[in-house]
Amino acid sequence: MSQNVPLQSIESHDLSVDKIMQDFYAVPTYQREYVWTEREVEQLLQDILAEYPDLKAPAAEYFVGSIVVCPGIDGMLNLIDGQQRMTTFFLITCAVRDRLMELGVMPPQIITSRISFESMDDLGHAVRRYRIKLQYSDSADVLDRIGAGEAIDPESLPNTRSAQRLLNAYTNIRQFLAQEFKEEPSEVQRFFAYIINHVKLVRIQTQSEAHALKVFETVNDRGVGLSPMDLLKNLMFIHASQADYDKLKDKWKSMVDTLHRAQEKPLRFLRYFIFAKYDVDRLREEGIYRWFTDHEKAVGFSADPLKFVDQLCDAATAYANFAVGKNPDGSPNRYLSNITALSYAARQHYILLLSAMHLPTGAFTKLCCEIENLFFAYIITREPTKEFERKFAAWASDLTQCRNEPDVDQYVQRYFDPAKQQLSDRFDLALHSLTEASVPRYRMRYILGKLAQYVEERAYGESEANLSLFLNERDLEHILPQTDGPDILFDKPEEYSTYVGRLGNLTILEESLNRSVSNKPFSDKFLVYSKSKFLLSKTIGAIMTIGDTKIDKAIKSAGLITFDRWDSAAIERRQSMLASLARQVWDIPSPNGPA
């Protein structure tokens, strides 16, 4: 812990569940929601059942962990840690009550009194208080409704994780009681008696919320342990003034919700944030929290936790935008969208993007173009993911110093160009041997789409910037048909299936044209290809004599070839042509120097 907690401010008591549940607890609004699933609830019940003695055997005490509390309002204790256990014990009590009633037995008062207690207010009105009160909105009062014995229709619940998990936990406990103790109410009561009398927790009570939060750092939950994300949140509250708790809670929730909506993993985000901002190139997820505590001054969260959380919020927003092919400000970015088309799961480049999120849009876009090129080179040459993740982390620090496009150019020359140079031979080998079987279909569409789009933009100017739009209503076309029919003559019939899947035998074609050629021989396809809008396909079957200098130059620069027959030699020749074109498209230098 960053600071010592005065020993005289802590009281620690070894208490039974019965003693614990005689007090009232409030779960503060800034706490994480109820996260236990069927697995954790079932594990707790099975652990207790394993210690539950036979009828004549002596009962042994069973310790299930600790909780951390501090004084709250109206005589309640604020539950700083232990919400998952305490809420589950409350649900167990409710489930026992309801199971007994289902079996026709009136629950004893000791059970109902551990769920709620009725007192009188100053006006003489009866007021019912539940032993546990969840103050965060995601709970949707489900715990109160269960405590009241209300039958809840799952379909009526709001779509929040906490509400669903609370009801699921209660349902699982009811099922457990029915399965283990059948129709025997006495056995249900005896099991509950063991829980309240012999299952124990250590209750740690401090004088203030700040002290409780510090103690909370050392405590872990059963099953769903405190992740570095939870601990970091707690660390922010330790250093924040109590007046800032609500602001901090709202900002933190906003950040987590942003990542959740984007279906991005918070721990990966935190890890990449550290790589991007603090000159670190190796860190495991389980080491994230310790890294922050060890670098408290360098990060600056102890002096101004709100400012630091603002930085996290901004980074999380940018991170979520990256995931949908957008710039940090939410505007479209064709190159980030292209990377998604290249690899659905790609995230390693987010390290560099987070380092560069301060750049002007033009400079950021230029960097993204270079990242796409390098990322493709890594993917197609099968560079291990961990290796280029490590490189991106090592390169990130210098990127934070870039301010404009010239800076980005120098950065690319320093890091990206040498990396691509090292991959040059492998890149050439990969493209010359590329087949459908060697990459996922979506990646082959990306490759052919990029090749076709590059030629179009050199000839006619920028087309649809987004590669996904460019590929809309366009199909992969097999020039040598996938099915070998009687009209198909091929010089190497024993290798037919091998040549069909080669890059040199593939092109991009409009859906309507693709349907019209189907499994026809090349002599028929030759005429159809000449009708395509795409030069990559059009030139297969037609010598371009348009006379437009820009188009002529684009065709010549791309090295596009027209064929009058389609055999193994033609496929090999076209594959070499596309491999050479790929060097231009992804800006890969030749083995001996720049492309």
Q: Output the CA–CA distances (angstroms, integers) from residue 217 to 239, 478, 517, in the order listed.
A: 13, 60, 67
The pair of three-digit structure tokens given for residue 180, joined into one six-digit string: 């283990």
- Mean pLDDT check: name the lowest of 56-65, 121-130, 238-247, 580-589: 121-130
Distance CA 319, CA 323 (A): 7
pLDDT > 90: what percent of the chain? 51
Amino acid in the structure at residue 165: R
| 595 has pLDDT over 80 | no
Strand partners of residue 478: 506
Amino acid in the structure at residue 168: N
Instruction: Quickly state the pLDDT bin for 221 (edges 50, 70, 90).
Output: very low
Q: Output the CA–CA distances (angstroms, integers) from residue 79 to 70, 173, 251, 538, 574, in the order listed.
A: 7, 23, 21, 70, 69
State the average pLDDT over residues 282-305. 87
Distance CA 93, CA 95 (A): 5
State the average pLDDT over residues 541-568. 82
State the average pLDDT over residues 259-267. 89
Q: Output the CA–CA distances (angstroms, integers) from residue 153 to 30, 36, 145, in the order listed.
A: 28, 20, 11
Classify residue 96 as left (phi > 0), alpha (psi -120 to 50) or beta.
Answer: alpha
Distance CA 158, CA 278 (A): 40
Confidence (pLDDT) at 219? 54
Distance CA 402, CA 33 (A): 40
State the average pLDDT over residues 299-326. 94
| 8 has pLDDT over 70 | no
Confidence (pLDDT) at 222? 43
- Distant-in-sequence, close-in-space partners of 335: CB < 8 Å, separation ≥ 6: 365, 368, 369, 371, 372
Distance CA 479, CA 286 (A): 51
Which span out of 123-127, 171-175, 254-258, 279-283 was modeled with the highest average pLDDT? 254-258
- Distant-in-sequence, close-in-space partners of 523: CB < 8 Å, separation ≥ 6: none
Q: Residue 101 in contact with residue 95, Cβ under 8 Å?
A: no
DSSP tag of 87 = H
Rg of the chain taking only CA atoms, in angstroms: 33
Distance CA 66, CA 80 (A): 11
The pair of three-digit structure tokens given for residue 556, joined into one six-digit string: 């010549």
Q: What is the number of other CB atoms lying within 10 angstroms of the CB of residue 484?
A: 15
Confidence (pLDDT) at 545? 62
| 1 has pLDDT over 50 | no
| 377 has pLDDT over 90 | yes
| Residues shown for the chain | 595
Nearest to 173 by CA among 16, 84, 46: 46
State the average pLDDT over residues 533-545. 83
Instruction: Quickly state the pLDDT bin for 507 (edges 50, 70, 90).
Output: very high
Query: For residue 449, with 0-12 CB atoms within 10 Å meaning exposed, 13-18 middle and 19 or more buried, which class applies?
Result: buried
DSSP tag of 363 = H
The pair of three-digit structure tokens given for residue 91, joined into one six-digit string: 């649900």
Distance CA 34, CA 172 (A): 15
Amino acid in the structure at residue 483: T
State the average pLDDT over residues 36-46. 86
- Mean pLDDT check: name the lowest of 46-55, 393-402, 447-456, 499-508: 46-55
Confidence (pLDDT) at 289? 87
Strand partners of residue 134: 27
Distance CA 483, CA 488 (A): 9
The pair of three-digit structure tokens given for residue 521, joined into one six-digit string: 């021989």
Confidence (pLDDT) at 484? 78
Instruction: Quickly state the pLDDT bin for 175 (edges 50, 70, 90).
Output: confident
| 234 has pLDDT over 90 | no
| 46 has pLDDT over 90 | no
- Mean pLDDT check: name the lowest of 302-311, 440-449, 538-547: 538-547
Confidence (pLDDT) at 224? 47
Nearest to 236 by CA among 307, 305, 298, 313: 305
- Bigger pLDDT: 558 or 222? 558
Distance CA 255, CA 313 (A): 5
- Mean pLDDT check: name the lowest of 215-219, 406-410, 530-534, 554-558: 215-219
Q: Residue 526 in contact with residue 541, Cβ under 8 Å?
A: yes
Confidence (pLDDT) at 22? 95
pLDDT single digits (tens) 350-370: 999 999 999 999 999 999 999
Confidence (pLDDT) at 256? 92
State the average pLDDT over residues 423-427. 95
Q: Residue 200 in contact with residue 16, Cβ under 8 Å?
A: yes
Instruction: Quickly state the pLDDT bin for 546 (edges 50, 70, 90).
Output: low
Instruction: Quickly state the pLDDT bin for 593 (edges 50, 70, 90).
Output: low
